[in-house]
Amino acid sequence: MTTPAETVGVYARQPARWHWAEVAFWIAALASAFLFPSRYLIMTDILRLGLFALSLDLILGYAGIVSLGHAAFFGVGAYGAGLLALHGLVTEPVLALLVAALAATLLGFVTSFLVIRGVDLTRLMVTLGIALLLEALAERFSDITGGTDGLQGIEMAPILGLFEFDMFGKVGFFYSLAVLFVLFLLARRIVHSPFGLSLRAIRNNPLRAAAVGIPVDRRLIAVYTLAAFYAGAAGALFTQTTQLASLDVFSFERSADLMLVLVLGGTGYLYGGLIGAVVFRLLQEGFSTLTPQYWQFWIGAVLIAVVLTGRERLHRWVRLVPDFLSRSRAKPKLGAIAPTSDPS
C-alpha cells in the first residue's frame, strides 16, 4: 500500500524523469556530427540558435515574459567574447564564454527592473528599445567595437588548451554541442525545481502566485537575469565559432527570428527552442536553395500559415511532443492510496 506522501513524491518527481525520447534526441544530435560531416557550419549555427532560443523559452515559456530585444544579451556576449580574445584578456574559450555570459547577465539584471514592470506590450517595447539602444552604442563607440566593420582579427586559443578550432568547424560543433548540453541540463534542473514551479505559477496567474506567498517580482528578475546569461553564452559561442562580431548581433531581426523559432517549436518544455531552431534553419536553407532571392517570402508564408492554422490547433500540435513525454506522468503505476485522515 502506497502512502499519500509517497504518492505525492512519485507524482512530483515524475516530470523530471528522463524520457527515452529525450535520450534519443541527444543521441541524434551527437550522431548528426558523424552522419553529416560536411555540414558542421550549419549544424553549429543551429546549436547556437537553439541555445539562444532556450534562453527566450526560459522567460517566455516558463515565466510569460515576452521580449523583442533578446539580441541585446546575445550581442553583449558576442562582443564580450570577441574583445576578450582580441585583446588577450581571457584567451581560454570556455572561461571567456563564462566571462562574456556574465557580462550579459549583469545587463540582464540591471534591465530586468524595467522589464518586469508593465504588461506584454510595454515589455515588448522596453526590450526592443534596450536592444536598439545597445546597437546604437556599439556603433557610436566604434573604437572599441569596430563600428560597422565589427571586430576584426579575432583569433581563438585552443579549448581548455587542448582542442584547436579547425577550418571545417568540427571542433566548433562539438564545443557548441557540449556548451548547449551542459546549459540544457542546468535549465532542466532549474525548471523542475521549486523555483521553476513558482515561475510556471506566475505565468499562469500572477495574482494568485503572490497570494500563495511567491515574491513575483523577485522571481521574474531572477529568471530574466538567468536568461540573459544563456543568451550571452549563445552570443559568445557565435563569436568564438565564427571569429566575427559585428553590429548585427544586436539586430532586431535576430530577436524577431527567435520568436519565430519558438512559434515553430513551441514553448514551456525546453525542447521547443531546440526543435524550432532545427526547423527554422532547415526551412531557411531549403527555401534559399530553391529561391535564393525570395526565401524570406516563403519563410513569411510558412509563418502566416502556421499562425492562420489557429492558436488552438497549433497549441495541440506543439503540445504533441511534451504531452507524449509526460504522458506516463498521468498514470504512474501506483498502489491504492491510503488516506492519512478522513477528510470529513
Would you tell me which residues interact with another protein (CB under 8 A)? 3-16, 189-190, 192-198, 200-201, 204-205, 207-216, 218-219, 222, 329-330, 337, 339-341, 343-344
**Distance in angstroms (rounded) separating the CA atoms of residues 314 and 81:** 38
**Among 306, 277, 282, 315, which residue's Cα sits nearest to residue 25?**
277
Looking at the Cβ atoms of 78 and 226, the one nearer to another protein is 226
Q: How far is the CB of 216 from another protein (least distance, A)?
A: 7
Amino acid in the structure at residue 12 = A
Looking at the Cβ atoms of 222 and 237, the one nearer to another protein is 222
Looking at the Cβ atoms of 115 and 222, the one nearer to another protein is 222
Looking at the Cβ atoms of 156 and 202, the one nearer to another protein is 202
At a CB cut-off of 8 Å and minimum separation 6, what does 335 contact? 1, 2
Q: How far is the CB of 321 from another protein (least distance, A)?
A: 16
Looking at the Cβ atoms of 163 and 195, the one nearer to another protein is 195
**Among 108, 150, 154, which residue's Cα sits nearest to residue 131?**
108
Looking at the Cβ atoms of 5 and 308, the one nearer to another protein is 5
Q: If you search the block for the grid coordinates 517549436, which residue do you land on?
A: 265
Q: At what angle do helices 71-86 and 216-242 cross, to 10 degrees?
A: 50
Looking at the Cβ atoms of 19 and 192, the one nearer to another protein is 192
Angle at 101 between CA 95 and CA 34, to 5 degrees: 70
User: Are 109 and 221 within 8 A, CB to CB?
Assistant: yes
39 is written with which cell numbers?
A: 555540414
Q: How far is the CB of 214 from another protein (least distance, A)?
A: 6
What would you report as the CA-atom Rg of the chain, rounded to the nearest whole angstrom?
Answer: 21
Looking at the Cβ atoms of 140 and 218, the one nearer to another protein is 218
Q: How far is the CB of 314 from another protein (least distance, A)?
A: 17
**Distance in angstroms (rounded) separating the CA atoms of residues 187 and 172:** 22
Angle at 310 between CA 309 and CA 316, to 5 degrees: 95
Cβ atoms within 10 Å of 245's Cβ, excluding its own: 29
Q: How far is the CB of 304 from another protein (least distance, A)?
A: 28
User: Are 159 and 93 within 8 A, CB to CB?
Assistant: yes
Q: How far is the CB of 328 from another protein (least distance, A)?
A: 12
**Among 259, 303, 312, which residue's Cα sits nearest to residue 57?**
259
Q: How far is the CB of 210 from another protein (least distance, A)?
A: 4
Q: How far is the CB of 233 from another protein (least distance, A)?
A: 17
